[in-house]
A = this chain, B = another copy of it.
Amino acid sequence: MSFERIAIIGLGLLGGSIGLAVREYLPGAQTTGYDADPAVRTRAAERKLADRICDSAADAVREADLVIFCVPVGAMGAAAAEIAGALPKNALVSDVGSSKQTVARELAEALPGQTIIPAHPVAGTEHSGPDAGFASLFQQRWCIITPPKGADGALVDRLGAFWEALGARVEVMDPEHHDLVLAVTSHLPHLIAYTIVGTASDLEDVTQGEVIKYSAGGFRDFTRIAASDPIMWRDVFLSNKDAVLEMLQRFTEDLTGLQKAIRLGDGEALFDHFTRTRAIRRSIIEQGQDDARPDFGRGDH
């Protein structure tokens, strides 16, 4: 019942990790891979990110029973259109995009009549490209499957079993709710990190050298996610615009509240807020979603 011929379109961090994870954890399955960038295809072949690296997307999908799009969410529609003629009718189409409503719509438009079940493994690092992937990326991470209305339950289960084989835990959610949840747990944090790193680079009275030297005071934490792939993140913000703007509005209200407390010297309000936020980290660590070592274990190695 598991998939046997998996086509991976896009061979960056996510696509490459899927290829490596399939080889490691699903040794019976065959993978084909394609990337629009010839240099990425060359490097993908060297790293053996898929069993066969193809020179066209159509070639890669021709015999697939599962096709996974691992391209930036803004490129999903065009990538899907490229394979429309070559895709077997019974192949399941999925993806790994960070926003789901837009992607579901674009894939459906490009591949009318095809069975499409989008998914989003909540996993990654700040690195990107064909050298960034590794087989264990999905271990202990959640993969959210967002089936369209009326999707075949057995197929949803089969896709879930695929992700579980790669080490992920699986949750099913409707795409609207996914986009709201991810707006707060992923998109807003990236936007904030990109913003503060930009703010710190642009100061006239503090040099960039000083920002770098004294970054261990907290700033350096933000630079990690602000080093993530610019194209991927541009597309996420454009495609999940409404939910991101909604969360940003709430964040700004809360920030204005704390700003006012600082201006008024209201120590009690600050203390109360800062006490509340400790509990969440404890839960994240208890649930295996972050490292318990102080300072992320920096300096331990």
Whether A219 and B186, one on each chain, are in contact in the complex, defined by CB atoms closer than 8 angstroms, is: yes
Chain B proximity of A179: nearest CB distance (Å)? 11
Residue from the list B122, B225, B278 in contact with A230, Cβ < 8 A: B278
CB distance from A25 to the nearest CB of B (A): 16
Q: List the B residue with the shortest CB-CB distance to A278.
A: B227
- Residues of chain B within 8 A (CB-CB) of A244 are 262
In angstroms, how far is the closest chain B Cβ from the Cβ of A167? 11
Q: A213 at the A/B interface (Cβ < 8 Å)?
A: yes
* A291 at interface, CB cutoff 8 A: yes
Interface check A180, CB cutoff 8 A = yes
Give residues 137-170 of A contacting B (CB, 8 Å): 139, 141-142, 144
- Name the B residues within 8 Å of A284 (CB-CB): 212, 215, 220, 223
Q: Is the CB of B141 within 8 A of A281?
A: no
0/1 string, A232-248, CB within 8 A of B gives 1: 01110110010011011
Task: Name 22 interchain pairs, CB-CB below 8 A, sorted by A.
Answer: A122-B214, A125-B294, A142-B213, A144-B214, A180-B206, A181-B211, A184-B200, A186-B218, A187-B217, A189-B218, A191-B258, A192-B196, A194-B274, A195-B255, A198-B276, A208-B283, A211-B280, A213-B287, A221-B222, A230-B271, A238-B267, A291-B301
Interfacial residues, chain A to chain B (CB-CB below 8 A): 74, 98, 122-127, 132, 136, 139, 141-142, 144, 171, 180-182, 184-203, 205-206, 208, 210-228, 230-231, 233-235, 237-238, 241, 244-245, 247-248, 250-252, 254-255, 258-259, 262-263, 265, 267, 270-271, 273-278, 280-284, 287, 289-291, 293-301
